[in-house]
Amino acid sequence: MCDTDREPDRPDSGESATDAVFSTLLEDTAEELYESAPCGYLSTLMDGTIAKVNRTLLDWLGLTREEVVGRKRFTDLLTVGGRLYHETHYAPLLRMQGKIGEIALELKASDGRRLPVLVSSTVKTSGDGEPILIRATVFDARQRRAYENELLRERQAAEETRRQAEADRERLLEALSVLQQSLLPATLPTVPGMAVASHYHTASLDRLGGDFYDLFPLDGKRWGFFLGDVCGKGPQAAAVTSLARYALRAAALHDADPEAALTTLNTVLHERFTGGDPRYCTAIFGVMEPDPATGTTTVRIASGGHPPALVLRAGGQADYLPTPGGLLIGVLPDPQFTSAETVLGPGDTLLLYTDGLTEARIGAHRELYGEEALRSFAAGHARGGPHALVTALKELLAGFGEGLDDDTALLALGSTDPAAGSDAAPASAPAPVRESTI
């Protein structure tokens, strides 16, 4: 049953007022929308003569309608560069395609200011398809240009920073190279009746290594030699390397006994690096006395925690010369070192190396290369003498690639056959070659 006495619903008075306000605000004529648009509008004849332009664009340019309509062409509003681009690219593309969008140009205001803009144009055609008018929309790109310029400045600053960093790194690498070479002998001396060869392989150019070696005369008959490895990398390791080299040479001149030389080095390191910054190294020190008449060389060595020396015989055998009981140098105040002795016959070679070689990672499972693999490899080059052996080991190290992450020093000493003299000629070895796996 209907309620006939009920009055019909009436619109809410508040909603009616809001609608009225919106209606008033939206009562814009097409002319007002055109003139006050947030972008510039203009229409030109096909020859570019401006036929119509809105107030927004006129305000940007600082011109009146009378100065522009029928008196200027679109290209008159552009900078010299903009006119050139318009004639060579913009206009031809517009004629071919009938429209073109968001082309970056620059307008020239009446006060000489440059106004970066993005221009989109379409060609209006007559009923029979003939082009009669060009309509263009011009967007203000000043903020975009400022943003692009800021990005460009930041990119240029970043590039300059990169170049400076590269230059700084080159200077650092040069300084590190000079410092590294100062920690090694520039050349190895000529030893009568001996062939000697050395190599230093740098795993990282931007880090100073702690490996070291040397060969020097003790008297008219005997020669001292050593090879070692300081714990750590960088300037601190280099300082210990320098100290170790000079301490061993000085100790050998006072007492050439291998055990005594290592004991002296241990005392120096233990007294110098105490407290919260302990420093230590491994090393082999040896004395050899070649007999050029027979081609044999008596060698006596002692080791402080260093990998064992490898003796290669002329017949093709290779075996380690054990030096048990040697402790790391610099750890304890009074360690005990033991020595070992061997005689190198004609064509035999003694190889000293640091653990960067045997601890290289190889294969898919990144296994240690190891001492047994080194012994087998060296046996295959035992007949070639020190130079051939070191050359082969250089190639082996290069082949490890990224598996070699520690520096490696090599020192090979071999007795020559007085009759053959095959490997004696180059006894004066060239300066150590520094190579990088990076």
Please write the tens of the pLDDT for every residue from 208-247: 678 899 999 999 899 999 999 998 777 777 888 888 999 9
What is the spatial distance between Cα 229 and Cα 284, in angstroms, rounded to a whole number?
9
In angstroms, the first-to-last Cα distance of the chain is 96
Residue 181 has pLDDT above 50, yes or no: yes
pLDDT bin (cut points 50, 70, 90) of residue 341 is: very high
Instruction: Name the packing angle between helices 370-379 and 385-400 (round to 10°).
Output: 140
pLDDT at 13: 56
- Say whether pLDDT at 277 is over 80: no
- The pLDDT value recorded for residue 77 is 95
Spell 291-301 as b/e; 16+ CB within 10 A means b.
eeeebbbebbb
Residue given tokens 């029928």 in the structure block: 70
> Of 233, 232, 226, 231, whose CA–CA distance to 247 is shortest?
226
- Who's near 391: CB < 8 A, 6+ residues apart? 197
pLDDT tens, position by position, 408-417: 999 999 998 7
Residues 6+ apart with CB under 8 A from 132: 46, 124, 125, 126
If pLDDT is split at 50, 70 and 90, which confidence band does 432 have?
very low
**pLDDT score recorded for residue 366:** 83
**Encoded tokens for 427:** 């006894």
209 Cβ contact partners less than 8 Å away, ≥ 6 residues apart: 180, 200, 202, 203, 233, 237, 406, 407
Cβ neighbours, 10 Å, residue 161: 10
List, for residues 390-431, the tens digit of each pLDDT value: 999 999 998 888 888 888 999 999 998 776 544 443 433 333
Instruction: Identify the pLDDT of residue 424.
Output: 42
Instruction: State both tokens at 388.
Output: 């051939």
Residue 44 vs residue 145, higher pLDDT:
44
Six token digits for residue 409: 């020093």
pTM of the model: 0.62
